[in-house]
């Protein structure tokens, strides 16, 4: 489509209510005109995780105000946007219903096309908005609900190369934190504690390391942490720091092996791509130690390591608006207003469902 596109995006799949207006120029360049995110962290922290019913209600209360604010900050009225893009899966069904129904109602009222967006596609395409990446590239999504290595071949064209067969990486951080008595969300707390710990004190398992398949497994790691904590109880502050550092070290080694193989596979698949890219997305991408591991791995393998700014790695609506813009620009069809939200919705329709994968199906 040979005209600039302005898309309103809506995201409500988990515990962030978000709205954004994004511009996609004819040359493929993107600009975020507004990006409003309301985190529900406080509502859920007392429960040590996201409570679906609380999340859905909070989305209902906040969404219309956030959309009005996103339009106002972009200095636009609804009639001026070219389309509406709303996350319609995967995620918590209550929240998805709120966002998608709002998107449908607005599309109908303003007579605009509606794009029902896969949340994972939003993460997958963000690097084209922030870094202008060209296809193909690899994306590692590491969040509270997903751990996936995805080949991004084009808009709407994805191949899942690896996924977790049990816990997501963020979930492993959260569970480790919980059993050590650290606050929720666990990732930042574990990273902080690890800074003053000894990564060599405990040897934790590195599941699937050495295997040719590109999948991940983290539940054994969490169990090993529990066993060590019980064996040396009562755990003091230094013990906690040592466990966290050893845990992070095991994760780092695992990623190095798994992703290293993914980079090799990319090289074999695309020998003509001179300087390929590995993109990270998801909340775990905030972890400095893991970032450093991935950065040096990419460096050694001749890949660019691309890390969008953190607020665009975690859940937001700019990535949803952008995915809508990319779809529209690629001439992909808009969705019918009868489209339904989907709690489970794999990005790669051909990927088999692995044992335990998407168990929680909640967070992406
Ligand atoms: O993408 P995200 O903000 O939300 C969803 O999963 O929907 O990711 C949140 C996850 C949580 O599991 C959190 O513990 C983890 O990302 N996380 C981290 C760090 N910051 C957030 N994990 C490791 N190190 C961090 N610094
Ligand atoms: Zn997400």
CA-proximal residue: ligand 1, atom 2 (nearest): 283
Q: Are residues 116 and 70 in the same domain?
A: yes
CA 169 / ligand 1 centre spacing (Å): 8
Burial of 230 (0-12, 13-18, 19+ CB in 10 A): exposed
CA 350 / ligand 1 centre spacing (Å): 27
With a 6 Å cutoff on the Cβ, whether 143 touches ligand 1 is yes
Q: Are residues 186 and 293 in the same domain?
A: yes
Which pLDDT value is given to residue 40?
85
Which pLDDT value is given to residue 261?
97
With a 6 Å cutoff on the Cβ, whether 186 touches ligand 1 is yes
With a 6 Å cutoff on the Cβ, whether 315 touches ligand 1 is yes
pTM for the structure as a whole: 0.93
Which pLDDT value is given to residue 353?
62
CA 312 / ligand 2 centre spacing (Å): 10
Per-residue confidence band for 354, with pLDDT thresholds at 50, 70 and 90: low
Listed residues: CB within 5 A of ion ligand 2: 143, 315, 364
**How many structural domains are present in the chain?**
2
With a 6 Å cutoff on the Cβ, whether 9 touches ligand 1 is no
Q: Are residues 14 and 143 in the same domain?
A: no
> Is residue 171 scored above 90 in pLDDT?
yes
> Is residue 359 scored above 60 in pLDDT?
no
> Is residue 41 scored above 90 in pLDDT?
no
Per-residue confidence band for 184, with pLDDT thresholds at 50, 70 and 90: confident
Judge if the upstream peptide bond of residue 185 is cis by omega within 30 degrees of 0: yes
Q: Are residues 235 and 288 in the same domain?
A: yes
With a 6 Å cutoff on the Cβ, whether 364 touches ligand 1 is yes
Q: Are residues 76 and 199 in the same domain?
A: no
pLDDT tens for residues 274-320?
999 999 999 999 999 999 999 999 999 999 999 999 999 999 999 99
Q: Which numbered atom of ligand 1 lies nearest the CA of 146? A: 6
Q: What are the φ and ψ backbone dihedral angles of 201, each rounded to 5 degrees?
A: -65, -40
With a 6 Å cutoff on the Cβ, whether 123 touches ligand 1 is no
Q: Are residues 139 and 265 in the same domain?
A: yes
Q: Are residues 164 and 205 in the same domain?
A: yes
Which pLDDT value is given to residue 362?
37
CA 166 / ligand 2 centre spacing (Å): 18
> Is residue 23 scored above 80 in pLDDT?
yes
Tokens linked to 169: 């990486």
CA 289 / ligand 1 centre spacing (Å): 14
Q: Are residues 166 and 93 in the same domain?
A: no
What string of H, E and C letters represents the secondary structure of the chain?
A: CCCCEEEEEEECCCCEEEEEEEEECCCCCEEEEEEEEEECHHHHHCCCCCCHHHHHHHHHHHHHHHHHHHHHHCCCCHHHCCEEEEEEECCCHHHHHHHHHHHHHHHHHHCCCEEEEEHHHHHHHHHHHHHCCCCCEEEEEECCCCEEEEEEEECCEEEEEEEECCCCHHHHHHHHHHHCCCCCCHHHHHHHHHCCCCCCCCCCCCCCCCCCCCCECCHHHHHHHHHHHHHCCCCCHHHHHHHHHHHHHHHHHHHHHHHHHHHHHHHHHCCCCCCCEEEEECHHHHCHHHHHHHHHHHHHHCCEEECCCHHHHCCCCHHHHHHHHHHHHCCCCCECCCCCCCCCCCCCCCCCCCCCCCCCCCCC
Q: Which numbered atom of ligand 1 lies nearest the CA of 174? A: 14
CATH number, position 65: 3.30.420.40
With a 6 Å cutoff on the Cβ, whether 174 touches ligand 1 is yes
Q: Which numbered atom of ligand 1 lies nearest the CA of 14? A: 7
Q: Are residues 49 and 65 in the same domain?
A: yes
Mean pLDDT score of the chain = 94
Q: Are residues 239 and 178 in the same domain?
A: yes
Q: Which numbered atom of ligand 1 lies nearest the CA of 186? A: 14
Nearest one of 204, 124, 117, 122 to 161, comparing CA atoms:
124
With a 6 Å cutoff on the Cβ, whether 175 touches ligand 1 is no
Determine the structural domain holding residue 41 and report its residue range.
5-129+311-329
| Ligand with minimal distance to 347 CA | 2
> Is residue 98 scored above 50 in pLDDT?
yes
| Ligand with minimal distance to 145 CA | 1
Q: Are residues 122 and 52 in the same domain?
A: yes
Q: Are residues 205 and 94 in the same domain?
A: no
CA-proximal residue: ligand 1, atom 13 (nearest): 187
> Is residue 264 scored above 70 in pLDDT?
yes
């Amino acid at each position: 489509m040979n005209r600039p596109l302005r898309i309103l995006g809506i995201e409500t799949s988990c515990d962030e209510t978000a709205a954004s207006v994004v511009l996609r120029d004819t040359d493929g360049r993107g600009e975020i005109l507004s990006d409003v995110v309301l985190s529900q962290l406080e509502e859920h922290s007392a429960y040590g995780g996201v409570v679906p019913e609380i999340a859905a209600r909070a989305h209902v209360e906040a969404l219309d105000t956030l959309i009005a604010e996103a339009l106002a900050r972009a200095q636009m009225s609804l009639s001026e946007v070219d389309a509406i893009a709303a996350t319609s899966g995967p995620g918590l069904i209550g929240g998805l219903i709120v966002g998608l129904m709002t998107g449908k109602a607005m599309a109908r009222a303003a007579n605009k096309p509606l794009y029902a967006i896969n949340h994972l596609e939003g993460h997958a395409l963000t690097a084209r908005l922030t870094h202008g990446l060209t296809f193909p590239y690899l994306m590692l999504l590491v969040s509270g609900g997903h751990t996936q290595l995805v080949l991004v071949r084009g808009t709407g064209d994805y191949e899942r190369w690896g996924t977790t067969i049990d816990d997501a990486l963020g979930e492993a951080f959260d569970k480790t934190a919980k059993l050590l008595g650290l606050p929720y969300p666990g990732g930042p707390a574990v990273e902080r504690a690890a800074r003053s710990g000894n990564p060599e004190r405990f040897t934790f398992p590195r599941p699937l390391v050495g295997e040719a398949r590109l999948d991940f497994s983290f539940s054994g790691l969490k169990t090993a942490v529990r066993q060590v904590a019980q064996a040396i109880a009562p755990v003091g502050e230094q013990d906690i720091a040592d466990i966290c550092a050893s845990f992070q070290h095991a994760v780092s080694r695992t990623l190095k092996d798994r992703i290293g193989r993914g980079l090799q596979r990319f090289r074999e698949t695309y020998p003509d791509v001179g300087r390929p890219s590995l993109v990270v997305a998801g909340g775990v991408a905030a972890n400095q130690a893991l970032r450093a591991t991935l950065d040096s791995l990419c460096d050694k393998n001749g890949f660019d390591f691309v890390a969008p700014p953190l607020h665009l790695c975690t859940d937001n609506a700019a990535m949803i608006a952008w995915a809508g813009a990319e779809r529209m620009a690629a001439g992909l069809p808009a969705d019918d207003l009868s489209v339904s939200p989907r709690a489970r919705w794999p990005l790669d329709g051909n990927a088999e469902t692995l044992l335990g994968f998407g168990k929680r199906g909640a967070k992406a």
